[in-house]
Structures are given as C-alpha cells and as structure tokens.
Chains A and B, each alone.
Chain A
Amino acid sequence: MQLNREQLLAAYRMMRTIREFEDRVHVEFSAGDIPGFVHLYAGEEASAVGVCMNLDHRDKIASTHRGHGHCIAKGVDVEGMMAEIFGRGSGTCGGKGGSMHIADLEKGMMGANGIVGGGPPLICGAALTAKTLKTGGVAVAFIGDGASNQGTTMESYNLAKAWMLPAIFVVEDNGYAESTSSSWSVSGSQLGRAAGFGIPAVQVDGLDFFAIHEAAREAVERARDGGGPSLIHAKLNRYHGHFEGDAQTYRGNGEIERLRAEHDPLTHFRKRVTEAGLLEGGQLDAIDAAAKSEIDAAVAKAKSAAMPPLAELLTDVYVRY
C-alpha cells in the first residue's frame, strides 16, 4: 500500500518524537533528575511506528519495560509521559506508575510492563473482547527477544491460535535480553516457533519502516478478517543500555557508534523518501526542529510540575472497597 505525503510526514514525526524523547531522557537521567529504572527505545522506532500506523481507536497494544516508543506511537500524550517519568502528579498515571507502567487505556495502550512476558496473555484477552463484542478491533503484543523465551508468550501463541483471536505478536529482537545475546538464548528461531503453532510469521529488517509497516498491514488485515493471529519478527538495534546506567560491557568495540552511523531507521527513512521525491529534506528538517522544541517544553513542564499530593498514596487501589 502506498502511503500518502501526510502519512509519511506523520510517520517521520512520530519516529523523530520518540528519538528526541529517548535521547533527552538519557540526558536527564544522567543528570540525576529521573528516579528509578528507565529503559530506552532509541534505535527501534520503526517498529512501534510501522505497526501502530496500521491501528485505530478500536485496537489495543500491550508493551514492555521498553515502552515509551509504543506509547508515543499509540498516541499517548508526550507531556504527560515525561511528567510521569519524572514522578509528577501531572503524569499520565498521576506519578504512580513511572516509566515501566505508563498506560492510557482510552488510547488503547494497555501499559508498559515491568514483567518480561506479562503482555501477551493480556493481549489475548483484549483480542477476545474484540472478537466477543465484534468491535472489529485487533490487539498487538510487543515483546522483546527476552520475552520470547517466557512460557506466557508461548502459551499465548497457542491460546491465540486455539481461539483464533485477532492478535498480533511483534517480537522486537534487539539482539540482547539485558546483557545476554539472543543468538545464544533463543533456541530455534522466532519464525520456527510461530510455524510450530501454525501462526503465519514474517521476519523484517527493523531498520526499514516500510517493511514493518507492510508486514503489520498484512497481519492486521488477517486479524480483522477473522484469520487469527500473526507474528512479526523485527530485527533491530537499541542505542542505549538495557537500563539507564548500564555500562554495556557486553557490547562489541564501537558497536553503538557503528549502529548509530549505519543503522538508523530515521536516516534510512529520510533517504528513502527524499531520493524517491516523496518528501523534501526541508520538511523533515522542520519536523526535527519541532520535535526538539516539543520535548524541550515537555521536560521544562515536567520539571516545574508538582509532585503528587501525599493523599494520593492511598487512592486508586480499588474502584470501591
């Protein structure tokens, strides 16, 4: 499917927003202003955006501990996210979730997740809701190569197929589960695993927004048509550590510099669309500048926002108790 100019601009804007967001959180974390654990998505932008551009308001996603990119791609408010990461009362979750638990159910974003492999069963449930209530919606579980080894993930493949759910599993394989290489930790292959469950699957280059977008388009179409679950194995790269503060001594010499120089999904996208004459460099430069100002403003606003009132400690445990 050909994307029109507006869609191409939107895709680039979302990817650039994620990159600016993550690289800026890296800086702010290093300065000591962000509490707790933070896991950054920079380098993997094409996956979240390529998939989520195929989704609409009916559709749900479940994310991972590395969830900021999925949130932004599903339309979660960037200022609210930044405030949440800074632990402020104005955050998306009122400062009670933090980086690992940003969720916005109204946007169909069912949460980043602190448990590796936590999302796939939930997505089976969201897909069951769509199927039972006939909403036409689909549900997408983003998982990493680490989560691909969890029992919950493989149980979910089986359940999604047995119930023929409109579910899509996107394995974002950035090569490392924490510090352990996926080339060592994943027996067999992601495609072989999907085949074992009778689930159609495709491997895509995570550098290539267009390849991911097309793979997701096919999977979403299959799900909406009652064709059951699909799996997408995206090979991609993360530019930062597993968590902020990770010294990354397990990486090869010069690996990250090389990835940033030669395997940048944004550079790849820019080259594709400008060489094909679909967009002009100036349009993309303007998006770059706008994204930077947007993130600057979000950080400034987050830093000046109030911490949650202490009474909030005791609220929201139950709907009614």
Chain B
Amino acid sequence: MAKKSFRQAINEALAQEMRRDPRVVLMGEDVAGGQGAPGEDDAWGGPLGVTKGLMPEFGRERVLDTPITESGFVGAAIGAAATGLRPVAELMFVDFMGVCFDQIFNQAAKFRYMFGGKAVTPVVIRTMYGGGFRAASQHSQCLYPLFTHIPGLKVVIPSSPYDAKGLLIQAIRDDDPVMFFEHKMMYDDMDEVPDEPYTIPFGEANLTREGDDVTVVALGRMVKIANEAADALRKQGVGCTVIDPRTTSPMDTDSILESVEETGRLVVVDEAHPRCGMAADVSALVAQEAFRALKAPIRMVTPPHTPVPFSPALEDAYLPSAARVIEAVRATMA
C-alpha cells in the first residue's frame, strides 16, 4: 500500500468525492489562490497546499476562492448545504471561528431541530488547529471543545493520514454539519493510505495501543504523544491502552468505559485548554459511570490555562509531551 502524507490523504479524499458527486464544492480563502491576480492560477492550493491541484481539475465553479470574509462564506456554505449542494468550506485557522461562529452554532447546528426535522445541512467545515508552529496565540488554538459543546454539530479530529482520508469521506457523505479538525503540525506525517475511497464511521474509537494497566485517552496529535509514552512505558513493564475517540461528537463512550473497567486507571491527554475541555469531559464521564472501577484518581495532561505563547521555549513548555504523559501514568500507578 502506498505511503501518503496527511496532506495527500485530505487532497485525495476531496478529489475522489468531487469526482463522485457533482454537488460537492470547495470554498475558502485561497483554496485555489491567484484569483484575479496576474500570476499563476492555483497559486496556493490553500495556505499549506492541501487543496493544490483541485481547481485545475474541477474549475473555479467548484473550487471557489473567497474574499477574506469568514461570516460571509461559511454562512454561504451553510445556506448552500440547506438548498442542495454538499459544500466543504475551509476555515483557514480555527482561531478565526470568532468572526463566523454565529453561522455555525446558531444557524447550521440548529436548523434541523428548530425546523422540526425538515432541514438537512450537509456541510463540512475543514479547519486547521493546534500548536507547535510558533504561530502564537491567535493561530494555535484547538477549540474543538467549543464545537463539541453544541448539539447539532459533529466534530472530527483525525490522528493519522489513514484516518484523515476515511473520516473526511465520511464527513462529506454525512447529512449533518461536520467540523473537521486538521492539526497543522501533522500535514507531513506519513502513513499507509489506500488509493480507493473508504469511510470510517463516526463514534467508533480506535485503540492504537493495548495494555492492562492504564487507559490513556488522547485526541488528534496527542495520540502520537500518547503512543510514544505507551511504547516507552511498555519497556518499563507498564501496559497502556491508548484510545483515540476519533470524533468527539458523537463520542465512543463505551470503548472508554470498557477499558477503564479493565484497567481501573485513566489518563486523558488533550491539547485543548483544560477548563471545560475534552479532558474534563472524559474525566467526568468516567467519574460518573465507572467510579467503582477506579483504583486511582484520574489524571489530565493538558496545557496550562493560558493562551498559546509564541517563544519556542515557552510553547514547548506549554504543549503536553510524552514525558508528561509518562509522569501522569506513573502517578496513577503509585
């Protein structure tokens, strides 16, 4: 099977779905690039080249560059979805949700409920998240807990190129509004990715490591860190089950609870802010549903409750690391 990057996996999923279904259109700032400019067409293919090559194949009628107008085009994607297209909008950085959130959480998320089940809004909003790029406070956040909080939205956080392709195809074929999170530090990650289209269902966790001693739940890029920690701990005789929920809405709570019933110990690793985040959410779930199985207090490995700093020295201290996961796992064993 061919090795492909996370970037290629996303691009391939988009291209295959656009070939399959003429209602699938892309829109966003510079998704092609160069519109109206004297130089090259398809100049960017998105700021990190993820959508490069799609405009030449599908034309500007289906790969729509937009002005810098997030409320306008995210709202337009939602309105188009409610009237018969299946748009994939690219919100360049999730940090920009501040200028278009109303259209997502008051409009798209609520149409079906408010309108008595008669609305279908098959929109996908792809967005970049996460730290490590030295992009500072307004271009490094995770923010997926905010979307997970909203009934009516589905939230997808792939942790590998293989998952990215299968989950994105699922997202495009899904009839509900989907927020699709791509970590900006993962685009060059390589993985075996099948050439043919395939889907991965939402709400089904992936167990990336198996062990008897501690359950580690991690999302997105944190899955890599959790795996790294689990591999190191294995050598020291500590077995971890690493659970990647893949989607936070819907979330595979059964897999988490079943594992904790077996291990009796839980560490949750999340790159999002600690308050009202996924780590707190998973911890609350286990405390309520599997309290008697717990042999030790739950541990959360998250950044501190601060904005994301710029300086590499500070940002490295801010982000969760394998060493901190190991420390947390050891604490549950003490």
Residues of A within 8 A of B (CB): 60, 62, 91-97, 101, 103-106, 110-111, 113-115, 118, 120-126, 128-130, 132-133, 139, 151-152, 155-156, 158-159, 162-163, 315-321
* A163 to B81 CA separation, bound complex (whole angstroms): 17
Contact with A along B89-128 (1 / 0, CB 8 A): 0000000000000110011001111111111100000000
Is B79 part of the binding interface, using a Cβ–Cβ cutoff of 8 Å? Answer: yes
Is B214 part of the binding interface, using a Cβ–Cβ cutoff of 8 Å? Answer: no
Task: Give the residues in chain A near B151, CB-CB below 8 Å.
Answer: 317
Evaluate contact between A133 and B84: CB separation under 8 angstroms.
Answer: yes
Known contacts A158-B67, A162-B67; decide if A121 and B80 are in contact (CB<8 Å): no
Task: Give the residues in chain B near A128, CB-CB below 8 Å.
Answer: 25, 64, 76, 79-80, 85
A-B contact pairs, 29 of them (CB 8 A): A62-B79, A91-B116, A92-B116, A96-B116, A103-B119, A113-B107, A118-B102, A118-B103, A120-B75, A121-B74, A121-B75, A121-B78, A121-B79, A122-B75, A122-B107, A125-B77, A129-B79, A132-B85, A152-B103, A155-B69, A156-B72, A158-B67, A159-B69, A159-B76, A162-B66, A318-B152, A319-B176, A320-B175, A321-B154
Kindly identify, within residues 147 to 204 of chain B, every residue whose CB is under 8 Å from any CB belonging to chain A. 151-152, 154, 174-176, 203
* A114 to B115 CA separation, bound complex (whole angstroms): 13
Instruction: Name the distance in Å between B16's Cβ and chain A's nearest Cβ.
Output: 19
Is B71 part of the binding interface, using a Cβ–Cβ cutoff of 8 Å? Answer: yes
Task: Give the residues in chain B near A321, CB-CB below 8 Å.
Answer: 154, 176, 203, 250
Instruction: Name the distance in Å between A135's Cβ and chain B's nearest Cβ.
Output: 8
Evaluate contact between A121 and B114: CB separation under 8 angstroms.
Answer: no
Is B43 part of the binding interface, using a Cβ–Cβ cutoff of 8 Å? Answer: no
Task: Give the residues in chain B near A159, CB-CB below 8 Å.
Answer: 66-67, 69, 72-73, 76
Is B293 part of the binding interface, using a Cβ–Cβ cutoff of 8 Å? Answer: no
Kindly identify, within residues 195 to 250 of chain B, every residue whose CB is under 8 Å from any CB belonging to chain A. 203, 250
Evaluate contact between A318 and B79: CB separation under 8 angstroms.
Answer: no
Known contacts A125-B79, A126-B79, A129-B84; decide if A111 and B72 are in contact (CB<8 Å): no
Evaluate contact between A103 and B118: CB separation under 8 angstroms.
Answer: yes
Instruction: Name the distance in Å between A146's Cβ and chain B's nearest Cβ.
Output: 15
The interface residues of chain A, by DSSP majority, are classed as mixed
Task: Give the residues in chain B near A130, CB-CB below 8 Å.
Answer: 83
Contact-residue size bin, chain B (C-beta under 8 Å from the other chain): 35 or more
* A130 to B66 CA separation, bound complex (whole angstroms): 18
Known contacts A125-B75, A125-B79, A125-B82; decide if A320 and B176 are in contact (CB<8 Å): yes
Pick the 10 closest A-B CB pairs, nearest first. A121-B75, A125-B79, A122-B79, A155-B72, A94-B116, A93-B116, A125-B80, A316-B117, A319-B175, A125-B76
Residues of B within 8 A of A (CB): 23, 25, 61-62, 64, 66-67, 69, 71-85, 87, 102-103, 106-107, 110-120, 151-152, 154, 174-176, 203, 250
Task: Give the residues in chain A near B84, CB-CB below 8 Å.
Answer: 129, 133
Given known contacts A121-B71, A159-B69, what 4 new A-B pairs fall within 8 Å (CB)? A122-B76, A129-B83, A132-B25, A317-B113
Task: Give the residues in chain A near B78, CB-CB below 8 Å.
Answer: 121-122, 125
| Chain B residue at minimal CB-CB distance from A137 | B83
B152 CB contact (under 8 Å) in A95, A139, A317: A317
| Chain A residue at minimal CB-CB distance from B62 | A132
Instruction: Name the distance in Å between B63's Cβ and chain A's nearest Cβ.
Output: 12
* A125 to B83 CA separation, bound complex (whole angstroms): 8
Evaluate contact between B111 and A129: CB separation under 8 angstroms.
Answer: no
Task: Give the residues in chain A near B110, CB-CB below 8 Å.
Answer: 101
Task: Give the residues in chain B near A163, CB-CB below 8 Å.
Answer: 64
| Chain B residue at minimal CB-CB distance from A104 | B118
Task: Give the residues in chain B near A122, CB-CB below 8 Å.
Answer: 75-76, 78-79, 82, 103, 107
Evaluate contact between B106 and A125: CB separation under 8 angstroms.
Answer: no
Instruction: Name the distance in Å between A160's Cβ and chain B's nearest Cβ.
Output: 9
B102 CB contact (under 8 Å) in A97, A115, A162, A319: A115
Evaluate contact between B80 and A126: CB separation under 8 angstroms.
Answer: yes
Evaluate contact between A105 and B119: CB separation under 8 angstroms.
Answer: yes
* A186 to B154 CA separation, bound complex (whole angstroms): 38
Known contacts A121-B103, A126-B80; decide if A97 and B116 are in contact (CB<8 Å): yes
| Chain A residue at minimal CB-CB distance from B153 | A318
| Chain A residue at minimal CB-CB distance from B81 | A125
Evaluate contact between A115 and B80: CB separation under 8 angstroms.
Answer: no
Instruction: Name the distance in Å between A305's Cβ and chain B's nearest Cβ.
Output: 14
Evaluate contact between B72 and A126: CB separation under 8 angstroms.
Answer: no
Evaluate contact between B67 and A318: CB separation under 8 angstroms.
Answer: no
A126 CB contact (under 8 Å) in B83, B103, B119, B203: B83
Evaluate contact between A316 and B116: CB separation under 8 angstroms.
Answer: yes
Evaluate contact between B25 and A124: CB separation under 8 angstroms.
Answer: no
* A62 to B75 CA separation, bound complex (whole angstroms): 12
* A316 to B87 CA separation, bound complex (whole angstroms): 21
| Chain A residue at minimal CB-CB distance from B36 | A162
Task: Give the residues in chain A near B117, CB-CB below 8 Å.
Answer: 94, 315-316
